[in-house]
Structure 1
Amino acid sequence: MQQPLVSLSHHTSRFDWHSRLKAAAIHLGLSALVAATAGLLVFALWYPWPYREISGGRELFQLVVAVDVALGPLITFAIFNRAKPRTELRRDLAIVALLQLGGLAYGLWTVHLARPVHLVYEVDRFRVVHQVDIPEELVQLALSGIPVAPPGGPTLIALRPFRNQQESLDYTMQALQGVQLAAQPALWQPYGEARQRVIAAARPVAQLERRFPQQATAIEEALRKAGRDADHAAYLPMVARKALAWTVLLDAGTAEVIGFLPLDSF
């Protein structure tokens, strides 16, 4: 009489493992769908190319998603049990989902704060400025019409010339202390007002091709996509967060940004 009981217990155990795996798999699928939706927000709006590469957006998002997407289904696997009352099981799963969504929201907020907000022409280069780079006490000094943290991707702006030698010294000292010139809202101005200075500072693309002959094909391809040739294009180096330096391709006549290359052209 005891043998059938052992068999029944073994069958129930197998059935319980199957149910747990099925619940965890469903949870994993839903988590992946939510993560994909969040990815569209992050990479289409906050970290458009090339900022997902140079500002570390891809790694930040992958870390957030890997932790959040993995933990939810694992917890579901651990707590799912059809022997529980239906209301208790629903409550447990709802708590897991809320915790997971809360974790994802916090992670996305962190990615949002670290996002690039401006590509700034800075004297003889471009610099990517991220929201966390701008001290909160300086936010109110930004020029009207230039939002400190635009809701979309990075905007193109420039630094105005220093008004006098003392201002130059003061801001240079602050840069040495960690607040870069490009992260000083009081120095910002619309990019259009700096076009002539950008054109004067830019270097011919032919020079870039001579410096990086092994990258000539990549340079020509970037120019082709932009509808330009080397005779009508220029470049300036760009400082970013993850990659120390990239290169910004420009229209030699208008200073319009036409492309980016992963080359350290300093």
Structure 2
Amino acid sequence: MTSLTLSLIKTKANAGITHFTISLLIFCFVVAWVYFFAYPDVYFTMAGAIQGLTLVFLIDVVLGPLLSFLVYNPAKPKKEIISDLVIIGAVQIAALVYGLTTLYKEQPQAVIIYPKSSATVINKREMTDFELGELSQYEKLGKLPAAVYTPDRKHPYQSMLQSLDVIKETDLANRRTLAQNMDDSAVLQSLEKQYGKLYILSVMAKYNGAYFALDEDFNLVAKFGEKPIS
């Protein structure tokens, strides 16, 4: 391998590394927004954050710098170099905007608890389908407001405190399902030794489902038994 070839590879590598560093920095800001704000705490792995971030990472942190490495050549006319980088940047920005838009629309906004059944995480795109009213009236599961679906009452959505009977019935139904899995049963026994009597909710999000354990004040004390939704 000639010194000229080695010099070219080094120059191309420097271009790729520079691009990679910038892309990685932007990606870190995206991860921070997703983890701390858009897909908070227990919902990060359940509601599609990892899948969305993986797409952004592959396109913006991997593919973009790789293309820079492949196409960059200092021997090209400056105008052609700029044109190549602009095209790569445009593709990368378009992919980033698409990824961020998807993450924004799919971010979890509330939890709907259905009597004697599973609770469902509602994303931003779906919120208009539910007449929840002012979200501050509901207790929170983690960082999301949780409404109990009560179609037989004046308002179809109530707070957990207003629907304690429904929560208790749902807890019993979920315990019957949970008892079929020895590992989940063992986790619940351990949690109740530590926290006392708990209410158990089966919560389904876009990608994963899990059990939420709540204390008597409806504080979320643990998430366990998380599994992909088949």
Which residue pairs with 2:24 in the alignment?
32
Which residue pairs with 2:224 in the alignment?
261
Q: Is residue 218 of structure 2 the alignment partner of residue 218 of structure 1?
A: no
Q: Report the 3-state secondary structure (helix = DSSP H, G, I; strand = E; otherwise coil) of the residue aligned with 1:202.
A: helix
Pairwise CA distance, 1:99:
3.3
Mapping for residues 143-154 of structure 1, pairs under 5 Å: 143-146=132-135, 154=144
Pairwise CA distance, 1:235:
1.3
53, 63, 67: which one aligns with 2:55: 63
Opposite residue 235 of structure 1, the aligned amino acid is I
182, 195, 202: which one aligns with 2:171: 202
5, 23, 35: which one aligns with 1:13: 5
**Residue segments in structure 1 that go unaligned for 5+ positions in a row:** 1-6, 148-152, 165-185
Q: Is residue 157 of structure 2 the alignment partner of residue 188 of structure 1?
A: yes
Which residue pairs with 1:241 in the alignment?
206
Pairwise CA distance, 1:20:
0.6
Rounded to whole Å, the distance in 2 between the matches of 1:263 and 1:90 is: 48
Query: Quick one: percent identity of the two aligned structures?
Result: 19
Alignment check: 8 A CA contact 1:124 1:236 kept: no
Rounded to whole Å, the distance in 1 between the matches of 2:217 and 2:169 is: 11
Opposite residue 133 of structure 2, the aligned amino acid is S
Larger Rg over CA atoms: 1
Mapping for residues 87-236 of structure 1, pairs under 5 Å: 89-90=81-82, 92-125=84-117, 126-134=119-127, 138=129, 142-146=131-135, 154-163=144-153, 187-203=156-172, 211-220=180-189, 222=191, 228-229=195-196, 232-236=197-201
Relative to 1, partners in 2 of residues 1:204 and 1:197: Cα closer, same or farther, differing over 3 Å? closer
Pairwise CA distance, 1:49:
3.6
Relative to 1, partners in 2 of residues 1:25 and 1:78: Cα closer, same or farther, differing over 3 Å? same
Rounded to whole Å, the distance in 1 between the matches of 2:190 and 2:32 is: 27
Rounded to whole Å, the distance in 1 between the matches of 2:166 and 2:173 is: 15
Q: Report the 3-state secondary structure (helix = DSSP H, G, I; strand = E; otherwise coil) of the residue aligned with 2:206.
A: coil
Bigger shift: residues 199-208 or 66-75: 199-208
Opposite residue 150 of structure 2, the aligned amino acid is R
Rounded to whole Å, the distance in 1 between the matches of 2:224 and 2:157 is: 25
Rounded to whole Å, the distance in 2 between the matches of 1:187 and 1:163 is: 6
Relative to 1, partners in 2 of residues 1:263 and 1:108: Cα closer, same or farther, differing over 3 Å? closer
Q: Report the 3-state secondary structure (helix = DSSP H, G, I; strand = E; otherwise coil) of the residue aligned with 2:45.
A: helix
**Residue segments in structure 2 that go unaligned for 5+ positions in a row:** 137-142
